[in-house]
């Protein structure tokens, strides 16, 4: 598969139900393509299926029905070890609560992004330092996460997500725990990183934030309510890998 | 597109160790307290093994000093029940066996020994009278406490040498006043008193007189009652089998040959059950330590759900997560094991110092201690690690 405008992430009729009586249907048939170089917001009220959607896109969970393809690879056909490998190499995660590991420094935290790819420690650390400088934390190399402000922590998390140049970065409410000024800075950072070539999906309940991004996908009751990409006729054809 | 191993999750061995040690470094006090449980168990076991090994070494040293190459030849049991009589020259016969350094015999004399003639003959005080070869004391590695042992001259006249208990019972404390004792009907001069003889405890309750005087005064036949045989090192078992054939070829089975040092060694066996008890207690402590580790690891897994989720998101497989927690538990336990081995060795050294005995900490005990800790830790980590690996990554990273 070639890089460029090809889809890096494809959801084909993805449904997800959680056990219960009656079963809780979190996603009710989602079709979505995200192409390389996009900056997409997935927005919706709570309960609309955003988190489930993130789990599907990030290969953290498997759909009940339908297929998820990352760079053309169908996740349903892969073993845990291969899915984990794919997650580690091709998908970067940014979480609302940062989820940095206490007890190790910023460099090590970022370097963890490549820990499970068999990359040597020295190489990981070199890359991690470069990445920390890229997100504007060149002066915080020797600190630990608990010595940083919220915005700085999220920058560390973003650096970790970007390490190893994943095909797509999934940011789950990246500004949910930050004040508005810091939020703006983080959004701006994501924008810059996107301009530098990273494909980024931001999951948020903040409609203003979503509207400020180039493409917005609205969810409601587990379905795509609106996709701004479809307005200008740019709907992606159903491509098989 | 890259294929093969590049597509898989992969964790280097060095990173396995690094990740495993992370949880320990992050919670130092908890790590120390948990490791302490294992340390106590291992220390107890190493100390028990070390102290018993030191005691064994001590006994061995004693034996070596006494001469472990002594054989004692006694009458056995005859099939017919008839009295067994060894040839008078048994010691000489045995001495002709190649690897025998020395053989000496003692013979029962039908006599009693009393302080004076006024003591009734029945009150022997349990003291035997023996006619003896002159080199018997050398053969059993005995020592004279006072005076001298019999020599060629004193063996012909009424001279007697008393064992330590015999001397005490006869009231002979010092030879300064040239004490005399009464043997059946003759006064003998006490010319020597022996130290207790470890390898031949019967000597302590014996009055020794020379063979010539015994023949003269008591008509003794001088058939040997016991023969003491010193053997060249390494030939004990060979000589042992040959003695019967040498002095009683017609019925070698009727000769009993024992090794007195075996009895001293057997003394140690009595402490065996006590040792087992202590080892058992150590094992219980170790088990409790292992349960402690499992407990702490379960708590740790609960506390670190988000870390586990993040690691899964960053590419860790279930196996990697399991490995991380098993290695962490094993490291925790290993830490305790190393501390315990050190502590156990120190206790052993301290004990040996106090008892003034040989320090002997068996290397196997040290290795075994560390290995046991490692295994227990690994086992204790299995369940918590499995729980960690089972965690749903999507659930684990969920906010709140």
Chain B interface disruption, residue of A69, A99, A121, A241, most B CBs within 10 A: A99
Does B299 share its domain with B233? no
The DSSP annotation for A121-186 comes to HHHHHHHHHHHHHHTT-GGGTT--GGGS-HHHHHHHHHHHHHTT--SEEEEESTTTTS-HHHHHHH
Residue of A nearest to B394 (CA): A60
Does B18 share its domain with B123? no
Tell whether B2 is covered by a domain.
no
Does B230 share its domain with B280? no
In chain A, residues with a C-beta closer than 8 Å to the C-beta of B315 are 84-85, 87-89, 115-117
B25 interfacial to chain A (CB closer than 8 Å): yes
Domain containing residue A191: CATH number: 3.40.50.300
**Closest C-alpha to B246, from B266, B231, B260:** B231
In chain A, residues with a C-beta closer than 8 Å to the C-beta of B7 are 82, 85-86, 89
A60 interfacial to chain B (CB closer than 8 Å): yes
The radius of gyration of chain A from alpha carbons, rounded to an integer in Å, stands at 18
In chain B, residues with a C-beta closer than 8 Å to the C-beta of A85 are 7-10, 315, 317
Taking CB atoms and an 8 Å limit, are A89 and B306 in contact across chains? no
B10 interfacial to chain A (CB closer than 8 Å): yes
> Which of B203, B226, B261 is the endpoint of a domain?
B261
Taking CB atoms and an 8 Å limit, are B8 and A99 in contact across chains? no
Retrieve residue B350's tokens.
């301290």
In chain A, residues with a C-beta closer than 8 Å to the C-beta of B318 are 80, 84
Mean pLDDT over A128-146 rounds to 93
Tell whether A59 is covered by a domain.
yes
Tell whether B121 is covered by a domain.
yes
Taking CB atoms and an 8 Å limit, are B315 and A120 in contact across chains? no
In chain B, residues with a C-beta closer than 8 Å to the C-beta of A164 are none
Mean pLDDT over B291-317 rounds to 93
Mean pLDDT over B84-97 rounds to 83
CB B396 within 8 A of CB B306: yes
Greater confidence, A171 or B397? A171
Tell whether A56 is covered by a domain.
yes
Residue B196 class from Cβ within 10 Å (0-12 exposed, 13-18 middle, 19+ buried)? middle
pLDDT in tens, A2-49: 444 678 999 999 999 988 888 888 999 999 999 999 999 999 998 898
- Total of domains in chain A: 1
Domain housing B334: 12-63+269-396
Residue of A nearest to B306 (CA): A99
Please check the confidence at residue B129 and state whether its pLDDT lies above 50. yes
Tell whether B206 is covered by a domain.
yes
CA-CA distance, A122 to B278, in Å (whole number)?
49
Does B153 share its domain with B204? yes
- Say what the pLDDT of residue B270 is: 56
- Say what the pLDDT of residue B142 is: 87
Does B82 share its domain with B37? no
Q: Which helix (H) or strand (E) holds A6?
A: none
Please check the confidence at residue B62 and state whether its pLDDT lies above 80. no
Please check the confidence at residue B3 and state whether its pLDDT lies above 50. no
Tell whether A225 is covered by a domain.
yes
Please check the confidence at residue A236 and state whether its pLDDT lies above 60. no
For this complex, say whether ipTM is above 0.85.
Answer: yes
Confidence class of residue B398 from pLDDT cuts 50, 70 and 90? confident
Tell whether B7 is covered by a domain.
no
Tell whether B109 is covered by a domain.
yes
> Which of B207, B238, B261 is the endpoint of a domain?
B261
Tell whether B27 is covered by a domain.
yes
pTM: 0.71
In the block, residue with structure tokens 């010319």? B191
- Say what the pLDDT of residue B6 is: 60
Does B237 share its domain with B325? no
Mean pLDDT taken over chain A: 89
CA-CA distance, B274 to B269, in Å (whole number)?
10
Does B54 share its domain with B91? no
Please check the confidence at residue B268 and state whether its pLDDT lies above 70. no
Tell whether B4 is covered by a domain.
no
Mean pLDDT over A49-59 rounds to 91
Q: Which helix (H) or strand (E) holds A68?
A: strand A65-70
Please check the confidence at residue B229 and state whether its pLDDT lies above 60. yes
Tell whether B6 is covered by a domain.
no
Please check the confidence at residue A116 and state whether its pLDDT lies above 50. yes
Lowest mean pLDDT of A219-223, B103-107, B264-268, name the range: B264-268
In chain A, residues with a C-beta closer than 8 Å to the C-beta of B324 are none
Give me the percent of chain B exceeding a pLDDT of 90: 30
Does B151 share its domain with B256? yes
Tell whether A21 is covered by a domain.
yes
Domain housing A162: 7-231
In chain B, residues with a C-beta closer than 8 Å to the C-beta of A118 are 5, 10-12
Taking CB atoms and an 8 Å limit, are B313 and A160 in contact across chains? no
From the CA of A114, how many Å to the nearest CA of chain B?
Answer: 8
SS3 call for B106: strand
Confidence class of residue B299 from pLDDT cuts 50, 70 and 90? very high
CB B148 within 8 A of CB B175: no
**Closest C-alpha to B37, from B324, B377, B383:** B377
Confidence class of residue A240 from pLDDT cuts 50, 70 and 90? very low
- Total of domains in chain B: 2
CA-CA distance, B11 to B400, in Å (whole number)?
29
> Which of B238, B261, B284 is the endpoint of a domain?
B261
- Say what the pLDDT of residue B110 is: 86
Confidence class of residue B1 from pLDDT cuts 50, 70 and 90? very low
Please check the confidence at residue B2 and state whether its pLDDT lies above 50. no
Tell whether A2 is covered by a domain.
no
């Amino acid at each position: 598969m070639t890089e460029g405008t090809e889809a890096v992430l494809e959801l084909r009729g993805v449904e997800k139900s959680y056990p219960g009586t009656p079963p809780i249907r979190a996603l009710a048939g989602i079709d979505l393509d995200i192409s390389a170089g996009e900056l997409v917001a997935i927005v919706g009220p709570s309960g609309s299926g955003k988190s489930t959607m993130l789990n599907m896109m990030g290969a953290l969970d498997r759909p009940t029905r339908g297929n998820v393809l990352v760079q053309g690879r169908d996740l349903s056909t892969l073993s845990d070890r291969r899915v984990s490998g794919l997650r580690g190499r091709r998908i970067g995660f940014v979480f609302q609560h940062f989820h940095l590991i206490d007890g190790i420094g910023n460099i090590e935290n970022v370097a963890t992004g490549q820990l499970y790819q068999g990359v040597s420690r020295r190489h990981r650390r070199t890359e991690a330092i470069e990445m920390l400088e890229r997100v504007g934390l060149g002066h915080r190399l020797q600190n630990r996460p608990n010595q940083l402000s919220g915005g700085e922590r999220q920058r560390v998390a973003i650096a970790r997500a970007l390490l190893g140049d994943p095909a797509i970065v999934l940011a789950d409410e990246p500004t949910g725990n930050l004040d508005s000024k810091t939020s703006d800075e983080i959004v701006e950072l994501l924008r810059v990183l996107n301009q530098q070539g990273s494909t980024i999906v931001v999951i948020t309940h903040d409609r203003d934030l979503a509207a400020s991004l180039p493409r917005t996908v609205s969810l409601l009751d587990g379905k795509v309510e609106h996709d701004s990409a479809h307005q200008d006729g740019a709907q992606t054809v159903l491509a098989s890998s | 597109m890259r294929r093969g191993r590049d597509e898989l999750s992969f964790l280097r061995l060095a990173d396995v160790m690094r990740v495993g040690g992370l949880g320990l470094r992050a919670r130092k006090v908890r790590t120390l307290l948990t490791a302490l449980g294992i340390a106590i168990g291992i220390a107890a076991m190493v100390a028990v093994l070390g102290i018993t090994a030191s005691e064994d070494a001590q006994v061995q040293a004693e034996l070596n000093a006494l001469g472990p190459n002594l054989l004692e030849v006694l009458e056995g049991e005859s099939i017919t029940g008839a009295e067994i009589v060894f040839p008078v020259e048994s010691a000489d016969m045995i001495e002709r066996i190649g690897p025998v350094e020395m053989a000496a015999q003692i013979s029962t004399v039908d006599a009693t020994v009393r302080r004076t003639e006024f003591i009734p003959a029945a009150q022997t005080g349990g003291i035997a009278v023996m006619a003896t070869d002159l080199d018997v004391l050398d053969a059993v590695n005995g020592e004279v406490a006072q005076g001298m042992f019999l020599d060629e001259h004193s063996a012909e006249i009424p001279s007697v040498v008393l064992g330590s208990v015999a001397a005490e019972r006869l009231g002979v404390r010092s030879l300064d006043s040239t004490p005399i004792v009464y043997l059946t009907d003759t006064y003998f001069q006490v010319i020597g008193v022996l130290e207790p003889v470890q390898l031949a405890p019967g000597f302590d309750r014996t009055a020794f007189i020379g063979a010539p005087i015994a023949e003269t005064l008591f008509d003794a036949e001088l058939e040997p009652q016991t023969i003491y045989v010193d053997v060249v090192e390494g030939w004990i078992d060979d000589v042992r089998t040959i003695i019967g054939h040498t002095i009683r070829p017609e019925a070698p089975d009727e000769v009993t040959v024992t090794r007195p040092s075996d009895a001293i060694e057997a003394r140690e066996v009595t402490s065996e059950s006590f040792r087992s008890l202590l080892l058992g207690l150590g094992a219980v402590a170790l088990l409790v330590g292992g349960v402690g580790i499992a407990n702490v690891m379960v708590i740790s897994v609960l506390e670190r759900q988000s870390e586990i989720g993040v690691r899964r998101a960053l590419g860790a497989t279930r196996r990697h997560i399991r490995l991380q927690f098993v290695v962490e538990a094993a490291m925790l336990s290993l830490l305790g094991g190393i501390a315990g081995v050190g502590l156990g060795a120190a206790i052993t050294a301290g004990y040996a110092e106090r008892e003034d005995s040989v320090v002997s900490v068996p290397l196997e005990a040290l290795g075994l201690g560390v290995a046991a800790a490692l295994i227990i830790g690994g086992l204790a980590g299995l369940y918590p690690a499995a729980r960690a690996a089972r965690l749903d990554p999507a659930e684990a990273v969920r906010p709140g």
